[in-house]
Structure 1
Amino acid sequence: MAPPSSEPSKRKATEKPVSPPPVKRKARSNISKENVAQFFTPVSEKQPDLVTWSERTPEGETRPTLLVGRYQPEDVGEADKKERRKIAAFDLDSTLITTESGNIFPKDDQDWQWWDASVPSRLRRLYRKEHYRIVIFSNQGGIVLRADPKVKGSEKKQERASAFKRKCTAVLKALDIPVSLYAAAEHDVFRKPRTGMWAEFCRDYGISADAIDRARSVFVGDAGGRGARPKSGDGTPAIRKDPSCVDRDFAHNLGLAYKEPEDYFHGDAPREFTRAFDLAAHPYTEPDAQAAGVAFEKTNEKDVVLFCGPPGAGKSTFYQRYLEPLGYERVNMDLLKTREKCFKAAAELLRDGSSVVVDSTNPDPEGRKKWIDLARDHGVPIRCLWFDVPKEVCQHNDAVRAFNKSLNPEARTVLPVVAWNTFFSRLRPPQAAAEGFQDVRRVPFAFRGSRDEYAVWARYWY
């Protein structure tokens, strides 16, 4: 066999091609014809951009986390600029728009269409004929407004923010009525169901809380805590379970009527819903009744009381209200940071003659045994208070504490979901005889505080 030639093979001119040349596909550009035309138009002839964008930063923070877009047509009359007391507020995705591709998440900034053909005409009628103020509130956890090089994927999320702005610009222009859009990019005070976006909207338009006609105002959103519906025999398509109840909870916090998109735009009957955490299950009780439900007594001259319970269960509040007045000193992992420092502090307090409360989670027998051994080494009995509180209640409590300075003397921040997942995966309820406790008392959750504190607590925060 002849060795392969180092020269490239050449096809004779008379030879036919082995296959037809590849067809060049037209690339889909993210640049609209309107943008191209604007680029080549002299500055003196360019039309003003009717959509303006701004960014907002939470109090005490340095990075903006709220994106605000505002569309204001040039031909708005003086009558339309007057204060409007009726508010028609909407979620964005799966309420006003959906993906054209059918995907849950859009492929790009052009992958959108109206949720229903009636949406734009309905919103225009609300503004032009019924004199509503139109506003959009959207949670957008997939974007960031300022990339953080230390956070993986942050630059990609900032690119998504630019695409989101392009898409929303097209949506607002297509509506062609005065409308503002507020998009919360982080899990902070701006994120629904918290009311930070609403507060920004009211400030932007100079609307006082008392001026709003809440009886005729409405919030429409798809996250209503509704369950899934299977495909029926008559061909009615299946419906996915709502991802959360955040829109219904947001409307509750604002004091507005809540409507599902199918109800508001189609007139369909509302579907059944459930809340993992329902404020109605936790009514306010007077302080005397709160104290009567505790009945904790100091039964030993000196002892250790070990707390067992998830983050946000109310352990620190319980200590401050009921054990601190009895003379107990507190050892807390959140303040001391390490288990070794906690053991050292507890030992010193016991040597000084004080009774001690160990205010930490202590989910498993192995961790609790070290405290039982410490108490035994100092010749004192050890009791256990088990805060048996569901995860959803704990998450609510944690958010209330983090976003309200008056209820957060230790300046704690919102915990990640993994904090509760870790606790409940390790949880083994304490057993008195088996573990060596003098007694174990179960403490179910109940709100403990003043009526003013309850007014803050009794909103949806998580």
Structure 2
Amino acid sequence: MNRENESLTVILVSKSSDVPDLKIKEGDKMMIGRNPIAKIKNIKCPRKLYQVELRAEISNWFVFLTNLKTNETGILKEGETIKGPGFEYEVKFDKVAYVSEPKDDNNEISAIRKSCDEDGEDSVNSTPTKKPKLESPIKKIMESEQPSHWEEVDEGSVQIYHYLGGGKPSSKIACFDFDGTLVSVKSGAKFPKDGSDWKLWDKSLPGLIQKSTDGGHRFVVFSNQKGVSTGHMSIDNVKQRIESCLAAIGVPSIAFLALKDNIYRKPRPGMWYLLQNCYNDLIDINLEESFFVGDAAGRKSALNKDHSCADILFAMNNQIGFLTPEQFRVGKRPKKIGDISPNLHNLPPFNPKALRDSKASPFLELDENGKESSKFANLNEVLNKINLVSSNGSHCIIFVGLAGAGKSTFFTERLAKEDYYRINRDELKTMEKCEREFEKHIKANSGKTVKLVIDNINNDNASRSLWLNHCKTHNLTPIAFHFNISREHAIHNNTYRRLLNLMCPDSASPAVPDWIISNQAKTFVPPTRKEGFSLVFKVNFQPIFEDRGDREIELYYMYLNEK
């Protein structure tokens, strides 16, 4: 290659439909991550995961790659790939002959691209929020003439509508629900019949929203539209309603539609993360100045019996103020998180945020009457007490608790390290196989100290009596571990597991249908010593996150269900 007559551009060809190709010129550097340049949407991907640089030695061109998490470096040649959460690129080289570039004052597109190229390196390698945005005439032309268009994210999980370019990125966000907030059903039916069956919720909305944007807020819409994925409504009808409504309001805006029951569905934070990390120029959002307007507020009044709490919980999860449509219309100030009254809003009985500050003892021993008799600060103290009451040291801990109570995680992270052997129906599939495994383990360890765990639901006397009889037959001291958790908390844990499974396909956290947990709760009977247990311990739930990242841990302490 004659480098005097040719220049080279590396093209990272994306293999994902929702991630664009990237181009890098000689000497340039680019960050691959969840940022406005790469447009990777997967929330498992950091904002800056790889730094890519096109280099040359003598006549050999290559891509120099740095993993910004591990500081490992490597060299990629043409045809090789770069992979990560939510993206995969193939390296291609594009040779371009040197030519003098004629001046073309009328070529606005060329000028815009040139302007973007000149700013590109700084915008991804420095802190975006600290760099002033230059209001050049070219940029203004680009913003004013940028067409409205739709975009699909994460394999159809989210549809995004950029109305008149999507609005100017801002530190202040005025965000709204769609149905019941911006529009109502024109026909009066419960659900719209077609794409034209809508009307503005209130004729004052265009002026009020314009006033917010005049004050520096960006107009954003967040809407749950799961009916599209379940076949109850057409995506074309939904798009028609969104387009027509925003045109009637007439304010540049960006609308996010969550079509599936995953991380993007309110009150979960996925759509907010998309705005924050990919569609707002990485400008830090001022949570004090931002607010959300929605009708799903769990109101108890006779006039307003809301179908869910999705909107108010979405605001609480993302720590921004909240208004109902009626409050926004009359100009009330947004309610801060601490100002939301449980007397007016029927919020879920389980508050995941409260777990952060819980002072409950992790283990409580119960006496013959089911009353709390002793507190234990850690598992070692509990095991010492068990050894004191086990005459020969052999014992069997019988887990009691709803699905989603954390029983299997507790065993894996705590008791497995203490050399306990587990019998689990989820693994063995039938109770008969569980009993055979019990007998097999006892026989294989004849004359030795046996430490067994029965990791099943065991939610009533009948299911527990089976194992109590086996313990009596083989002279094992029976111990009950009651995993103390409410139905709502168990469903929260179950939803968290399901979301992790969707976000991380290699996750080993199984989830069950929520109705199973509800049915278990109806028939649940707490264990007592009167049944025949030598000891009964109440185990208060403590989250165990293993190797989870900060974003996944943060997710656990948010409201994940609408009601």
TM-score, normalization by structure 1: 0.73
Residue 284 of structure 1 contacts residue 447 of structure 1 at CA under 8 Å; is this kept in 2?
A: no
Residue 401 of structure 1 contacts residue 407 of structure 1 at CA under 8 Å; is this kept in 2?
A: no
Alignment partner of 1:296: what SS?
helix
| Higher RCO (C-alpha under 8 Å, 6+ residues apart) | 1
**Residue deviations 1:167-224, cap 9 Å, x none?**
112112222222121121221111112111122223442432x621222111111222
Correspondence 1:172-191 to 2 at 5 A: 172-191=246-265
Find out whether 1:120 has 2:185 as its counterpart: no
TM-superposed CA distance for 1:119, in Å, is 1.3
Find out whether 1:279 has 2:352 as its counterpart: yes
Alignment match, 1:345: 437
Find out whether 1:360 has 2:445 as its counterpart: no
TM-superposed CA distance for 1:88, in Å, is 1.0
Range moving further from structure 2, 274-283 or 397-406: 397-406
Letter in 2 for 1:123: I
Alignment match, 1:380: 476
Residue 170 of structure 2 contacts residue 280 of structure 2 at CA under 8 Å; is this kept in 1?
A: no
Alignment match, 1:150: none
Query: What are the ranges of 5 or more consecutive residues in structure 2 without an aligned counterpart?
Result: 1-144, 336-340, 364-375
Alignment match, 2:221: 136
Change (3 A) 1:172 1:442: same
Correspondence 1:242-257 to 2 at 5 A: 242-257=306-321
Alignment partner of 1:109: what SS?
coil
Alignment match, 2:110: none
TM-superposed CA distance for 1:267, in Å, is 3.9
Alignment match, 1:16: none
TM-superposed CA distance for 1:257, in Å, is 1.5
Match of 2:190 among 97, 101, 104: 104
Alignment match, 2:330: 266
Change (3 A) 1:457 1:344: same
Match of 1:419 among 516, 524, 533: 516
TM-superposed CA distance for 1:328, in Å, is 1.6
Q: d(CA) in 2 for partners of 1:286 and 1:324?
A: 26
Find out whether 1:220 has 2:293 as its counterpart: yes
Alignment match, 1:436: 532
Match of 1:327 among 409, 416, 419: 419
Change (3 A) 1:399 1:268: same
Q: d(CA) in 2 for partners of 1:305 and 1:95?
A: 53
Alignment partner of 2:494: what SS?
helix
**Residue deviations 1:377-436, cap 9 Å, x none?**
433232212223111111222233333479998523543221212212332333332x33
Alignment match, 1:292: 377
Match of 2:151 among 54, 66, 69: 54
Correspondence 1:2-21 to 2 at 5 A: none
Alignment match, 1:28: none
Q: d(CA) in 2 for partners of 1:409 and 1:394?
A: 22
Find out whether 1:307 has 2:371 as its counterpart: no
Query: What are the ranges of 5 or more consecutive residues in structure 1 without an aligned counterpart?
Result: 1-47, 58-62, 145-153, 231-237
Q: d(CA) in 1 for partners of 2:454 and 2:505?
A: 20
Letter in 2 for 1:253: N
Give the paired residue count: 381
Percent identical pairs in the alignment equals 29
**Residue deviations 1:238-282, cap 9 Å, x none?**
222x22222222112222112222222224697722422223532
Q: d(CA) in 2 for partners of 1:337 and 1:267?
A: 59
Residue 500 of structure 2 contacts residue 507 of structure 2 at CA under 8 Å; is this kept in 1?
A: no
Residue 401 of structure 1 contacts residue 408 of structure 1 at CA under 8 Å; is this kept in 2?
A: no
Q: d(CA) in 2 for partners of 1:140 and 1:398?
A: 22
Match of 1:69 among 156, 161, 183: 161
Q: d(CA) in 2 for partners of 1:426 and 1:286?
A: 29
Find out whether 1:458 has 2:557 as its counterpart: yes
Q: d(CA) in 2 for partners of 1:345 and 1:407?
A: 32
Q: d(CA) in 2 for partners of 1:410 and 1:348?
A: 31
Q: d(CA) in 1 for partners of 2:553 and 2:242?
A: 38
Query: Of Structure 1 and Structure 2, which has the larger fraction of its residues in strand?
Result: 2
Residue 362 of structure 2 contacts residue 542 of structure 2 at CA under 8 Å; is this kept in 1?
A: no
Letter in 2 for 1:370: L
Q: d(CA) in 1 for partners of 2:506 and 2:150?
A: 36
Q: d(CA) in 1 for partners of 2:244 and 2:504?
A: 42
